[in-house]
Amino acid sequence: MQILHISAECYPMAKAGGLADVVGALPKYLQQAGHTSGVVMPMHRTNYLYTHTWDTMHRGTIFLGEKSMDYTIIMQKSSELGFPLYCVDIFGLLDRDRIYGYEDDSFRFLAFQMAVLEWLMNWEKKPDVLHVHDHHTALIPFLSRHCSRYSLLNRIPIVLTIHNAQYQGQMGWEQAVLLPYWNPAARGLLDWNDCINPLAAGIKCADRVTTVSEGYLEELMGNANGLEGLIRNERFKCKGIINGIDSEVWNPATDLFIPFHYSLKEADKGKRLNKEKLCAELDLDAKLPLFCFIGRMVSDKSADLLPELMQKALHLFSEKMNFIILGSGHVDIENSFRNMAPSPHIRLEFGYKEAFSHLLYASSDFLLMPSRVEPCGLNQLYAMRYGTIPIVRKTGGLKDTVKDMGDAGGGTGITVYHASMEDLLQALHRSLQLFKEKEILSHLRKHIMSCDFSWQTKAEQYIDIYESVVN
Ligand code: ADP
């Protein structure tokens, strides 16, 4: 089969979160399984774009209402990613530094989707399946089925993956004039609560819908930012598939971002050396347990709890510990970190720092991830691959991937039920006790490093889904 992924992000070209990691890995594993798979995304002005070479593939024009806009499709020259990567450029719209966060985002992503469809109309042999991701590309099922302009595409099966249903891309009905002529009888497919809701339209019109974990699918039926009823209705075509990790990119034995490589056998030594170097650079005592947080500073990730948690833990417990926080996000949450009294045990790094995140996974003893909402979560999987014990809240994909140490059959981390100060302090207390038990710690480290979270088996599950819609 030939499967084309359509996405706002793809690692390493442009990444804001887990979506990029998934779209940057799954096509590679589909190719390895004998299928043809590529990715098309906006031509964000990232470092990767400027440091790689590209061929121009196609030029065309789209019409958004009265407005005509020229687009260009480029393709990466080298095959280093293991799959073809195409980017769409539209002057003034997609030529920006950041992926999201602009006032005209709905307009930008609508134009992106229309340019992709226009380009696909020119493909002689059409893809067997289109795989769209999140609301930025979720209008494609509606557009291709209900706009006469794209009638050549209306038989291509479409799979939609929901990475995060909090964001739905709603726009007012006045924007409907921007779409190419569509059958008015299909209005109900675009509508949700008197708005055009791209994610809802995608769920209604796609042939199959996947979520990034079983646990998240269950949760969405009760809480999906207004879409729970829709998801319950469409449950028959939904499936949860937990994300894999790209075990070539995330491998402590070869990771180019970390100074000391290690595999399972020398995990204790490898982690110790990385930790000592990082702690020396940040002026932290490497003998103390090291906790890290990596992620968006938003309430979904419970980042708002961390300043108080760290201060309370350092005040209450007789044992000391160090914390390194890496992230960026909500201004108020960032400020609550900035406003903490300076501490010899806390280091803060603001911004998006891919290389530093790898150092943290390799050097830390524990990863803090007490998310309130976590569709799948990749950090806990990377942490385990690097022998870092995850401390997570039992929700969504975290519940599916991390079992508590106290559970029968052996666990893979420390879990809490609530994103509350009490639960988290207790989890820190348990971590401090564990840290003193060097043999148990070492055993657990090796156990979590040997867990298989690779993409191979997950790619097979996607292939089953594609086969179910192609035949
Ligand atoms: P989400 O997509 O909700 O942000 P995930 O856990 O699915 O969360 O994926 C987060 C990805 O982004 C991981 O690869 C993580 O390492 C990375 N990441 C998040 N914040 C940062 C940051 N500030 N610097 C570097 N990497 C980050």
Taking only the tens place, the pLDDT of each residue in 332-371 is 999 999 999 999 999 999 999 999 999 999 999 999 999 9
Dist. CA 208–CA 270, nearest whole Å: 43
pLDDT in tens, 292-318: 999 999 999 999 999 999 999 999 999
CA distances (Å), 281 to each of 64, 183, 274, 284, in order? 53, 62, 11, 8
> Is 261 a member of any domain?
no
Q: Enter the DSSP assignment of 181.
A: P
> Is 106 a member of any domain?
yes
Q: Which residues of 212-223 are buried (b: 16+ CB within 10 A; e: fewer)?
A: bbbbbbebbbee
Six token digits for residue 151:
């009638």
Same domain? For 466 and 432 the reply is no
Closest residue to atom 22 of ligand 1, CA basis: 352
What is the reported pLDDT for 126?
97
Judge if the beta carbon of residue 21 lies within 6 A of ligand 1.
Answer: yes
Which positions ≥6 away from 341 have C-beta within 8 Å? 311
Same domain? For 87 and 234 the reply is yes
pLDDT in tens, 159-201: 999 999 999 999 999 999 999 999 999 999 999 999 999 999 9
Judge if the beta carbon of residue 96 lies within 6 A of ligand 1.
Answer: no
Judge if the beta carbon of residue 144 lies within 6 A of ligand 1.
Answer: no
Q: Which of 370, 403, 363, 354 is closest to 387 using CA atoms? A: 363
What is the reported pLDDT for 410?
78
> Is 214 a member of any domain?
yes
Six token digits for residue 266:
């020398």
Dist. CA 42–CA 61, nearest whole Å: 15
Under a CB-based contact definition with an 8 Å cutoff, are residues 141 and 202 in contact?
yes
Dist. CA 79–CA 23, nearest whole Å: 16
Same domain? For 279 and 180 the reply is no
Same domain? For 195 and 235 the reply is yes
Dist. CA 382–CA 360, nearest whole Å: 10
Same domain? For 370 and 439 the reply is yes
Judge if the beta carbon of residue 372 lies within 6 A of ligand 1.
Answer: no
> Is 255 a member of any domain?
no
> Is 253 a member of any domain?
no
Count the residues in the chain.
Answer: 471
Dist. CA 215–CA 225, nearest whole Å: 16
Same domain? For 327 and 359 the reply is yes
Q: pTM of this prediction?
A: 0.93
Q: In what order do the strands lie in the sheet with 414-416?
A: 346-350, 322-329, 290-297, 366-369, 389-393, 414-416
Work out which ligand 1 atom sits closest to the CA atom of 296.
20
Work out which ligand 1 atom sits closest to the CA atom of 11.
14
Which positions ≥6 away from 280 have C-beta within 8 Å? 286
Judge if the beta carbon of residue 313 lies within 6 A of ligand 1.
Answer: no
Judge if the beta carbon of residue 327 lies within 6 A of ligand 1.
Answer: yes
Beta bridge partners of residue 86, listed in sequence order = 40, 75
Judge if the beta carbon of residue 84 lies within 6 A of ligand 1.
Answer: no
Same domain? For 315 and 228 the reply is no
Under a CB-based contact definition with an 8 Å cutoff, are residues 459 and 30 in contact?
yes
Answer whether residue 133 shows pLDDT above 80. Answer: yes
Same domain? For 230 and 271 the reply is no
> Is 393 a member of any domain?
yes
Under a CB-based contact definition with an 8 Å cutoff, are residues 8 and 15 in contact?
no
Work out which ligand 1 atom sits closest to the CA atom of 379.
6
> Is 262 a member of any domain?
no
Tell me what the pLDDT averaged over the chain comes to: 97
Instruction: Name the domain count of the chain.
Output: 2
Element housing 332 (H / E)? helix 331-338
Which domain, by its residues, includes 82? Answer: 2-244+455-470
Q: pLDDT-derived band of residue 322, with 50, 70 and 90 as boundaries?
A: very high
Q: pLDDT-derived band of residue 471, with 50, 70 and 90 as boundaries?
A: confident
What CATH number has the domain bearing residue 146? Answer: 3.40.50.2000
Which positions ≥6 away from 184 have C-beta within 8 Å? none
> Is 117 a member of any domain?
yes
Handedness of CA 381, 382, 383, 387 (dihedral sign): positive
